[in-house]
Structure 1
Amino acid sequence: MDAAITQRIDALRAAIRHHDHCYYVLDAPEIADADYDRLFDELTALEAAHPELVSPESPTQRVGGAPQASFAEVRHSQPMLSLEKCTTRTELEDWFARCRRELDGAPIALACEPKIDGVAVTLRYEDGRLRLAATRGDGTTGEDITANVRTLRSVPLVLEGADVPALLEVRGEIYMPLAEFESFNARARAAGQKTLVNPRNGAAGSLRQLDSRITAARPLTLFCYAVGECSPGWVPETQTEVLQALGKLGFRVNPEAACFESLDDCERWLEALLARRQSLGYAIDGAVLKVDRRDQQARLGAVTRKPRWAMAFKYAAEEATTRLIAVEFQVGRTGAVTPVARLEPVFVGGVTVSNATLHNMDEIARLDLCVGDTVLVRRAGDVIPQIMAVMPGARAPSAEPVSAPAACPSCGSPIVRPEGEVVARCSAGPARCPAQRREGLRHFSSRLALDIDGLGDRIIEQLVARDWVREPADLYRLTAERLATLDRLGDRSAANLVAAIAASRETTLPRFIYALGIREVGEATAQALALHFGSLDALLSADPAALETVPDVGPVVAAEVHAYCSDSERRAAIADLLAVGVRWPDPVRREGEGPLSGEIWVLTGALETLTRDAARDRLRQLGATVTDSVSKKTTRVVAGPGAGSKLAKAEALGIPVLDEAALLELLERFDPDHVGA
């Protein structure tokens, strides 16, 4: 092999990496696009002529080959923690005061960064080479998206510099710049293709493409902001120095980041950032403030999977005016008929809004809303658009009042409004109403229910439209051959979906009860019913009086559960699910079988030693019932820092209140092997 060829390939790779860094990270290109293309074309030709010299880290190898079948799960070496959020100056000042108290009044410098509205990822480098990229997921487990992230030219495949650690995990946010988002959608519209909903959804969808070539065609970039697992001794002593070190290694860090010695300076920075929000070139929904020194971060620690040394300050929702062009009615899984506003598209809170929630006809009457009105739209929490008001004096003579439909828009059955309810409902059940059936299947397969991976909205729409699934049990009779005939679902995806459906047969009684979609029964109530009755048969045979003995189940919930369990069609559907093999460990321990039997507990505020979920599980294992609200039936309340109205109500009712130390002592006394687990 000619050494000159090897040297030329190495030189071309180094030059291209340098120019990628200048263009995509520093935003300071040094050569013209045509000159860059000549370098890239020369490298491509040399590698084609000498395939034995192709390296995975070569700039030509960013775009992968064949599509993947699915995304593998990745367990994070260090959790990707979520952040506590606040929306007011008072809350921010309270957080800062708590930090000062915990640090005995020591001076605190604050590192401030814009909060990018994108997708959180972690990048793992070993010996300076990118080995893994993963989504945040639930903070503990994410998805392997390495092939897709490799296509981003702002992500270095090889780290440069003199101080490259042997192991380095970098946390960052992948996003789609606003100008590139608009350009992408303009090209898609011109080509008659589907457009992206907003920059954040566009980034998330792009990263979850099984074909990395699709990701490569999307205008994605990232800012890096933190370090996870890394070689001992490498991490600098402050957050500000972490960002500087990442920049030296070739990562893109936000130039808006700053560090201040006082909270007043931070608040002035927040105001200035908000004023420039629309000119930043990317969507933000606030800012993140962090205690700058890592030794102070360590002293403050974390609580309930949130660092106590950081706070996300969320900007207030944005508002805009637009015209209401129509009101349509949608049908939910319980038959609720809900009005939805169709709006002339308007840019609010970083996204283009064309729909808004109206809740019910009473809300329409309260607003005095007519089709054709000019309305004030607020993107509440920067997420859910709402119509706040009709603009006074702007009603056109042609405006039309909104009338409630008399028949279900899905199946044509009469719509009824039960006495005392604000929601109108379709009088038919899911067997006769496609919309209820569709929404019921979405609920049945959701994460908190049977958790059927891959059964998305598009597939459910087709299953209902073709009348292949009339009851949830019909899902378990589907074959891969039949599913493969659905639009955009190939043989491999069909086989994966059949496997996921089959795996969902193994569940738990609380999940099964929740999956049934009984009106008024959420996750907590399903758990309480399972614990109280211990078996499905006992629940099905319970009368309203027995149901009302379950903690936090009142007459309304008891009536709904009894009506559901007494309905012959519902019972037949349940029997069908059992017949196709849906099952769970039996029996579930009933209340009354542990040392805390008969007691009703409520957890409020933050816990430091245990997570809330862990404490809830431990108490239930000892026979207690754990509910979300304080009532006269509540036996004891555990209150941690930040406890609010629940603690006040408990004190007013004279209910014993324990702190976390007392809870741990009680758990230690009853079950020393599991305390703190």
Structure 2
Amino acid sequence: MNIENKIDELISLINYHNEKYYNQDAPEISDAEYDNLMKELIKLEEENPNLKRVDSPSNRVGGKALDKFDQIVHKIPMLSLSNAYSGQDLKDFDKRVRDMAGSDVEYVVEFKIDGLSVGITYNDGEFEKGATRGNGVVGEDISQNLMTVKSIPLRIKEDNEIVVRGEVYISKENFQKINEQQENLGLALYANPRNLAAGSLRQLDPKLTAKRPLDIFVFNLEYGQNLKFESHSESLEFLSDLGFSVSPSYKVFKSIDDVIEHIEYWTENRGNLDFEIDGMVIKVNNLKQRETMGYTAKSPRWAIAYKFPAEKKKTKILDIIVEVGRTGTITPTAVLEPVRLAGTSVSRATLHNEDYIREKDIRINDTVLVQKAGDIIPQVIEVVKEERNGEEIGFNMPNNCPVCFEPTVRLEGEAAVKCINMSCPAQIRRGIIHFVSRDAMNIDGLGESIITLLLNEKIIEDVSDLYSIKKEDVINLERMGDKSANNLIKSIKKSKENDLWRLINGLGIKFVGVKGAKILAKNFKDIDEIMNASEEELVNLEEFGGTMANSVVEFFKEDKNINVIEKLKKASVNTKTIEDKNSNVPKIFEGMKIVLTGTLPTLKRNDAKEMIEARGAKATSSVSKSTTFVLAGEEAGSKLTKANELGIKVVDEATFIELSSLSSKEEVESKLLL
């Protein structure tokens, strides 16, 4: 048997066993036997690369790791959808549709899968490339990673070029299994299936992606060369026949009332699905009617996404505990009977402050409704008072700090109860966590658990003691081996050379964040000048208000804070302003206001912000008529929507990098007009 025939035989055999294992749940060989077949195939393909087929199952295990993702311009822009939040919104949409397309309209209603949107191109029946949505026009080339997703066919029975769009996701069951594995290994749990799916697809090493149980639902034929269909539902049947997993349980309706009834059903029953959905998508079925209706600048007029209201679940408050923050604020937290909410198991919820508890009359043993604010932060929204049985216990904020036992105070005009003991261990711990964080001294390897161990073992008492740590102090700590200890010592040493603004931010001066720290470092040559600055001098700094100025002055009146700074100096921590490495960068964005939104393909958010500010622009947080342009990445959201509504220029990362390399403001302005 020649090599090509042997490769074909192995592919057929492995595909057969894949079908038995994955689809029929009836494996016929052991995992070891299967692995041996795959190893034999991979060996033959490596020795004979010209014989490797695009549909080889070896592509499912991942190829060579990438340095970074290339970019792909989408053949058809991957637009976002406008949103509806109520039945009335849907009726308004229906009226607009019928005004443009006529009274005879059908709607296809599909699940809005909560995953990562991708576009995949096939040519001559073979998988050619795949990309993230990106900013809708340009996406990241994640072809190697998509080839590892077993529900994406690598070969189809269609010679025409086609482009499909789908949503990659991880099922609830697989998500739960992965988090159980993380917990058993003592690793951090993943927040939700959507983030895990998105992170898995954006791994630079496809072998890591291949280990994740990713799946896909294809929901649209974006482009079909020489293909003609009358309706969207017909195109979905075509895609299903080609072997794609199409959007499940889609329905066709003629009445918007039937659409609303269908949506109401899934609003109540979405928890029964094995995958997360965050809404329903309603599309005009007839493709000619779609052509008649056309598009706005940002979305099709013939489709809309109904977003589910924030999911609410009933559970019980088992206890109310309090935690002491970095500034001494004591925050009450409800300990809950675990409940699954917006894709994750929730066992705690913030109660904000004393007034919030009083206003809602929240008690221990109460049955309550919880939801996630913005689908992120769990909070108690309502007490189910009709289920009270007399076992409920009222809660009062503590008169003494639960950590240092000093009296607590509630300052006039504030909602927060505070511990004002600056030596409180809880405040010290939170202060050290802040000091080493990414936006402060950026010391890798010093997580919360390690800091707690260092404090408990009396190795450190304040932030200055970090610079006295030796390898022998930490090597025997839990989960700290030789390599981790070496890396930690190197990271601590490296942080001594940080810019002054990082030290200022790390000190945790009330009301002074990253921006305020940079203003101080820009206007004073060292920490001593800042310590000796008067409130009047500080108030006169551009964008430095009176509250911030007063806080800085008060901070440096404390002997404890002065002592820490003196110890940092003795440890050779830099306390001087370092010459701005960007001082020679041409100010080609001078006077501009630039908004950054979404996740960029290669640039980290802070790096992009630094590039903006180094060139003389302000990196602002909200889009307005005065915004010069918006730098948009993947999942840009409402800021991108507002920019389109206001006609503000939107650029992707590649264009931004090109703009940043220009030599004059005139060139930038000229480029933005194109």
Paired position in structure 2 for 1:114: 111
Give the counterpart of 1:521 among 506, 512, 521: 512
Q: Which residue of 2 aligns with 1:653?
A: none
- Structure 2 residue runs of 5 or longer lacking an equivalent are 47-51, 598-604, 631-636, 650-661
Task: Name the CA distance, whole Å, in 2 between partners of 1:491 and 1:132.
Answer: 42
SS of aligned partner of 1:382:
coil
Provide the rounded CA distance (Å) in 1 between the counterparts of 2:665 and 2:133: 37
TM-score, reference length from structure 2: 0.66
Between the aligned partners of 2:589 and 2:179, the Cα distance in structure 1 is 59
Q: How many Å separate the matches in 2 of 1:219 and 1:595? A: 46
Q: Do 2:366 and 2:392's aligned partners in 1 also have CA atoms closer than 8 Å?
A: yes
**Corresponding residue to 2:85 among 85, 88, 91:** 88
Aligned to 1:173: 168
Higher mean C-alpha deviation, range 12-21 or range 234-243: 234-243
Go from structure 1 to structure 2 and tell me whether the alpha carbon gap of 1:112 and 1:565 turns closer, same or farther (over 3 Å shift). farther
Secondary structure of the 1:402 match is: coil
1:17 partnered with 2:10: no
Q: Give, in whole Å, the separation in 2 of the partners of 1:488 and 1:529.
A: 39
Equivalent pair of 1:528/1:625 in contact (CA under 8 Å): no
From 267, 270, 280, give the equivalent of 2:273: 280
Tell me if the contact between 2:72 and 2:141 (Cα under 8 Å) persists in the aligned partners. Answer: no
For residues 355 and 547 of structure 1, do their structure 2 counterparts lie closer, same or farther at Cα, with a shift above 3 Å needed? same
Q: Distance in 1 between matches of 2:119 and 2:576?
A: 37
CA distance in 1, matches of 2:359, 2:16: 61
Residues 151 and 517 (structure 1 numbering): CA distance in 2 closer, same or farther, change over 3 Å? farther
Give the conservation status (yes or no) of the 8 Å contact 1:504–1:582.
no
- Whether the 8 Å contact between 1:120 and 1:171 is mirrored in structure 2 is yes
SS at match of 2:349: strand
- Output one character per residue of 1:173-218: Cα deviation in whole Å (capped at 9) or x when no partner: 332334x5567789999x9999967752894699499999998887
Q: Secondary structure at the match of 2:11?
A: helix
Q: 2:111·2:248 contact (CA, 8 Å) conserved in 1? A: no
Moved more, 490-499 or 360-369: 490-499
CA 1:60–1:623 in structure 2 vs 1: closer, same or farther (change >3 Å)? closer
Residue identity opposite 1:561 in structure 2: V
Residue 324 and residue 299 in structure 1: after superposition, are their counterparts in 2 closer, same or farther (change >3 A)? closer
Given candidates 520, 544, 561, the residue that maps to 2:552 is 561
Q: Is the 8 A contact 2:435 2:463 kept in 1?
A: yes
2:434 aligned with 1:440 = no
1:152 to 1:289, Cα distance in 2 relative to 1, 3 A: same
> Could you say if the C-alpha distance between residues 185 and 502 of structure 1 is closer, same or farther in structure 2, counting changes exceeding 3 Å?
closer
Provide the C-alpha distance between the structure 2 equivalents of 1:83 and 1:7, rounded to a whole number of angstroms. 46
Q: What CA distance in whole angstroms lies between the structure 1 residues aligned with 2:130 and 2:221?
A: 14
Match status 1:154 vs 2:145: no
Show the counterpart of 1:415: 408
| Candidates 296, 316, 322, aligned match of 1:329 | 322
Deviation (angstroms), 1:315: 1.2
In 1, the alpha carbon distance for the partners of 2:483 and 2:227 equals 44
Task: Tell me the alpha carbon deviations over residues 554-588 of structure 1, each in whole angstroms, 9 at most, x when there is no partner.
Answer: 54333223322443443554566673348765359
Q: Point out the more displaced range, 435-444 or 127-136.
A: 127-136
Secondary structure (helix, strand or coil) at the match of 1:114 reads strand
Residues in 1 aligned to 2:443 and 2:78: alpha-carbon distance in whole angstroms = 26
Identical counterparts, % of pairs: 31
Task: Please give the per-residue CA displacement for 1:320-351, whole angstroms capped at 9, x wherever unaligned.
Answer: 33222111111222221101001122344444
Amino acid at match of 1:586: E
1:193-342 alignment runs, 5 A limit: 200=193, 203=196, 207=200, 220-224=214-218, 251-256=244-249, 270-287=263-280, 300-301=296-297, 313-342=306-335
Q: Residue 8 and residue 367 in structure 1: after superposition, are their counterparts in 2 closer, same or farther (change >3 A)?
A: same
1:397 Cα shift? Answer: 3.5
Structure 2 contact 110–249 (Cα < 8 Å) conserved? yes
One-letter amino acid of the structure 2 residue matched with residue 173 of structure 1:
V
Taking a change above 3 Å as real, the CA distance of residues 78 and 595 of structure 1, as seen in their structure-2 partners, is: closer
Cα shift at 1:384: 2.2
Alpha-carbon distance in 1 for matches of 2:588, 2:147: 55
Change (3 A) 1:242 1:547: farther
* 1:271-306 Cα deviation digits (max 9, x unpaired): 45424412322222224568998999996455xxx9
CA distance in structure 2 between the partners assigned to 1:575 and 1:297 by the alignment:
69
Q: Is the 8 A contact 1:83 1:311 kept in 2?
A: no
Structure 1 residue corresponding to 2:388, chosen from 378, 381, 395:
395
| Equivalent residue in structure 1 for 2:534, among 531, 539, 543 | 543
Q: Which sits farther off after the overlay, 169-178 or 494-503?
A: 494-503
**Equivalent AA in structure 1 for residue 170 of structure 2:** Y
Q: 1:220 to 1:32 in 2, by over 3 A?
A: closer
Count how many residue pairs are aligned between Structure 1 and Structure 2: 618
Deviations 1:503-546 (A, max 9, x none): 66676666654444332334555566666779766654443334
Cα distance in 2 between the residues matched to 1:256 and 1:361: 47
* Residue pairs, 1:18-33, within 5 angstroms: 20=18, 29=23, 31=24, 33=26
Is the alpha carbon distance of 1:459 and 1:59 closer, same or farther for their aligned partners in structure 2, counting shifts above 3 Å? farther
Show the counterpart of 2:49: none
Aligned to 1:673: 667
Alpha carbons 2:370, 2:381 under 8 Å: kept? yes
Q: Tell me, in whole angstroms, the C-alpha distance in 1 between the residues paired with 2:518 and 2:94.
A: 38
- Mapping of 1:50-69 within 5 angstroms? 52-53=43-44, 59=57
Q: What is the rounded CA distance, in whole Å, between the counterparts of 2:7 and 2:283 in structure 1?
A: 44
* Mapped contact 1:327–1:402 kept (Cα < 8 A): yes
State the partner residue of 2:652: none
Q: Is the 8 A contact 2:169 2:214 kept in 1?
A: yes
Residue deviations 1:610-650 (CA, integer Å, cap 9, x gap) = xx9999999977988787799xxx9x966999999xx9xxx
- Change in 2 beyond 3 A, CA 1:365/1:583: same
